[in-house]
Structures are given as structure tokens and as C-alpha cells.
Amino acid sequence: MDRQPSYLYDTSGPEGDWARHTAEVEARAVPVPEELAALLDRVERQLDKLSFDAPLAALRAVNRLEHIVTEVGRRAAYGAEADAESGTPIGPGLGLPEDEARRRLLRYTLRR
């Protein structure tokens, strides 16, 4: 067994393969509208800052987000399941393997 430190190996090939793979998966996934993606990034940054400055306020905001995820996630999951029944695969749209996408839909539909 080679006992040289791992940083002595050239990993650019596998790293390039992985970067191409993730780019291909992302390209096949349903895009999130830019405006919403930017808003989510902003919310994340503000919550991160708030978690240091006012952790209880951050937890209240997280609780509200969890409520939103529960309600909207359930509606979206039911809609995606209806699409899947008509033959639309959900895995590629979510950028996930089909079995993982199905588990995610189930989690959203069962969430209370």
C-alpha cells in the first residue's frame, strides 16, 4: 500500500469528471427562476448573520420558513406526482436519481 500523502496525487482527472457530471445534471434540472434564487440566497445570508446577532430571532424566522416549506412543498409534491403519473420523470427535473426524488416527494407529502 502506498503511504504517500494524498495531496501528492494528481486528482484533476476525477475532479474534472465530477465537475462535468454535476454541470450536466444541473443543466437537465428544472431551473429555479433567477429572481427567486437571488431572494433565497439573500435570505440565507441574512439568516446566517442573524444566527450570530440574534439567535432567537433567527429561530423564529427558520420556524416560519419551515411552515412555508411544509405548505408549499406539499402542494408542489402533489403536482409533481400528478405530472409523474402522466409519464414525466421527476428525478431529472430535481437533479436527483429517480428513487431519491420519489423519497423527497414522499417526505413533502407526509410532512406535518
Cell digits of residue 39: 431572494
* Distance from C-alpha of 77 to C-alpha of 105, rounded to nearest angstrom: 5
Cell digits of residue 70: 411544509
Cβ atoms of 109 and 90 closer than 8 Å = no
Angle between helices 98-110 and 55-85 (to 10 degrees): 120
Q: Which residues contact 103 (CB under 8 A, 6 or more apart)?
A: none
64, 100, 111 from 107: Cα distances, Å: 18, 10, 6
pLDDT tens readout for residues 24-83: 777 788 899 999 999 999 999 999 999 999 999 999 999 999 999 999 999 999 999 888
* pLDDT, position 1: 56
* pLDDT, position 24: 77
* pLDDT, position 78: 92
The residue to which cell 443543466 is assigned: 27
